């Protein structure tokens, strides 16, 4: 369309989601179409940016849509905004640490001279450290 509006189907395709997800976001008060024509929803640049932010917040799987709604409605100075974002930054830091740990272990496996991983002294020492720290659930 020449007015810069994008149909619900085109938005869904661009973001890799179903049109029903956009309708659900609307039902939840997260997103509103810029216009409706002949019963179809159309979104403008502001709505597309809002949708991109919603996806950033939810793609980690750590933030609920209810929390996203709270964040989008709050000012950056509000206590609720700060609490939610700080807790999610900490959760992401924990996820990153676990992922880096897993990558380090996998990269070692690729270069380890031992035929069987469970015979590798580096791995055995590493695993014993995990057990000694009591964080085997986060190994």
pLDDT in tens, 61-105: 888 999 999 999 999 899 988 999 999 999 999 999 999 989 999
CA 43 to chain centre: 23
Residues 62, 56: contact at Cβ < 8 Å? no
Instruction: Dig out the tokens for 67 from the structure.
Output: 């929390």
Q: What percent of the chain has pLDDT over 70?
A: 96
How far is 35 from 23, CA to CA, in rounded Å?
A: 13
Residues 34, 44: contact at Cβ < 8 Å? yes
pLDDT at 135 over 80: no
What pLDDT band is residue 138 in, cutting at 50, 70 and 90? Answer: low
Q: Which parts of the chain fold into alpha helices (H)?
A: 8-15, 19-27, 45-58, 65-73, 79-111, 121-133
What pLDDT band is residue 136 in, cutting at 50, 70 and 90? Answer: low
pLDDT at 127 over 90: no
How far is 69 from 97, CA to CA, in rounded Å?
A: 28
Residues 130, 136: contact at Cβ < 8 Å? yes
How far is 127 from 44, CA to CA, in rounded Å?
A: 52
Contacts of 31 (CB under 8 A, 6+ apart): 22, 25, 43, 47, 50, 51, 54
pTM above 0.85, yes or no: no
The reported pLDDT for the residue numbered 1 is 46
Average pLDDT over residues 17-29: 95
The reported pLDDT for the residue numbered 103 is 94
């Amino acid at each position: 369309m020449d007015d810069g509006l994008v149909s619900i189907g085109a938005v869904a395709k661009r973001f890799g989601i179903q049109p029903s997800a956009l309708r659900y976001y609307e039902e939840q008060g997260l997103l509103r179409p810029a216009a409706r024509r002949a019963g179809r929803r159309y979104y403008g640049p502001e709505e597309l940016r809002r949708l991109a932010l919603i996806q950033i917040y939810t793609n980690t799987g750590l933030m609920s849509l209810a929390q996203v709604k709270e964040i989008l409605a709050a000012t950056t100075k509000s206590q609720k905004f700060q609490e939610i974002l700080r807790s999610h930054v900490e959760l992401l830091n924990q996820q990153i640490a676990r992922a880096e740990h897993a990558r380090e272990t996998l990269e070692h496996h690729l270069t380890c001279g031992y035929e069987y991983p469970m015979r590798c002294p580096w791995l055995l020492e590493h695993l014993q450290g995990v057990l000694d720290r009591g964080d085997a659930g986060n190994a």
